[in-house]
Amino acid sequence: MILVGRDESFRIDTFEYRLLREIEYRQTLIRQYSGQNEIWEQQRPAVPNEPITAPQLKQKPRNSKLIEGKDATFQVQVISNPPPKLYWFKNGQKICSSQRYRINYENGIASLRIIDVQPEDAGYYTLFAENNLGHVVCSAHLVIEASETTQAKYTSVKRKDISEYEALDEDGYEESNKSMKPHFYKIPANIEVTEGKMARFDCRVGGRPPPDVSWYINGRKLVDDHNYKLIVNEGGVHSLMIKVVSREDAGTITCIAKNRNG
């Protein structure tokens, strides 16, 4: 067995389900960094003369696609009395207020602002809101477009099976900064392959004009030959097929997309 990589993809649907259904799992996550004394995690008194209600989602956060260096903001309209306790997560890890993460709740709007987003900020952002009557959860996906040549290994995978996504543009993202530079909608998955077997890696990339795509193994550029097949399909889907995997193929597979804009 040669190690090419492990599939460590984060499943947002599973995370949301466990937050809602598994009390012990939820409490373990919520107690993370409990010493931070986050004001939004404290139970506040009910608003007088208003109906007592469990949290209700009136507006969910939108998926967002930004160029690195910009600020990202997620907003959720949550109606609740008493006001809800709020917990934000990124890829299943709890977020606390800091100079980069600005958390707020005002007039029924819960917001998370991320200052100066970087490629590592790409991922799924989840809000969990609760009071003593119930709880709700919702998530949005953030994609970061690199300011220089985009590489697949720094770009987050776009999931297509999340029912909460809104069709804001043809790819399901709110584009705050339209760009013609290459951008990845799907990156190759990490896999383990037995020596002598076949391996295939797929990516989907967009850009105008359509970018040229190159594949590398451990920094070595690949050319189409009897063992390495470079395949271009419709819809911006590019594939690398290794017909017979050898030990020399173990390591990092990199996909680089370029056009005249980046």
Task: Tell whether 62 is covered by a domain.
Answer: yes
Contact 2, 193 (CB under 8 A): yes
Question: Mean per-residue pLDDT for 55-64?
Answer: 92
**Domain shared by 124 and 210, yes or no:** no
208 φψ region: left (φ > 0), alpha (ψ -120 to 50), beta (else): beta
Q: What is the pLDDT of residue 170?
A: 43
For residues 115 and 185, membership in a common domain is answered with: no
The percentage of the chain sitting over the pLDDT mark of 70, rounded to a whole number, equals 79
Mean per-residue pLDDT for 9-19? 87
CATH number at residue 226: 2.60.40.10
196 and 107 in a common domain? no
pLDDT digits (tens, 9 = 90+) for 102-115: 999 988 999 999 99
Do 135 and 212 share a domain, yes or no? no
The range of the structural domain enclosing residue 193 comes to 180-261
pLDDT at res. 102: 92
Mean pLDDT of 202-212: 82
Provide the token pair at 251. Answer: 């390591």
Task: Give the three-class secondary structure for 157.
Answer: coil
- Write the pLDDT tens digit of every residue in 153-187: 433 333 333 333 333 444 455 544 455 688 877 78
Indicate the range of 12-26, 84-98, 202-216, 230-244 predicted with least confidence: 230-244
0.95 cut: is pTM over it? no
Judged on CB neighbours under 10 Å (0-12, 13-18, 19+), 67 is: middle
Model pLDDT, residue 163: 31
Given 131, 150, 169, which residue is the final one in a domain? 150
Residue 222 lies in a domain: yes
- Residue 175 counted as domain residue: no
Residue 205's Cα: distance from chain center in Å? 16
| Of residues 55, 204, 84, 87, the one with CA closest to residue 143 | 204
Residues 184 and 142 in one domain: no
Residue 209 lies in a domain: yes
pLDDT in tens, 118-133: 888 889 999 999 999 9
The count of structural domains within the chain is 2
Average pLDDT, whole number, for the chain? 79
17 φ/ψ angles, rounded to the nearest 5 degrees: -60, -45
User: Per the domain annotation, does 206 fall within a domain?
Assistant: yes
Residue 187 maps to a domain? yes
* 55 & 142 share domain: yes
Is the pLDDT confidence value at 197 over 90? no
Residue 232: pLDDT above 90?
Answer: no
What b/e string do you get for 133-159 counting C-beta neighbours within 10 Å, with b at 16 or more? Answer: eebbbbbbbbbbbbeeebbbebbbbbb
Q: What is the pLDDT of residue 63?
A: 92
d(CA 213, CA 216): 10
Query: Is 98 among the domain residues?
Result: yes
Instruction: Classify burial at 110, counting beta carbons within 10 Å of its beta carbon; exposed 0-12, middle 13-18, buried 19 or more.
Output: buried
Q: Is residue 3 part of a domain?
A: no
Residues 143, 210 share a domain: no
Q: Read off the pLDDT of each residue in 134-138 and give the average, rounded to a whole number.
A: 94
Task: Say which residue the tokens 């770009």 belong to.
Answer: 155
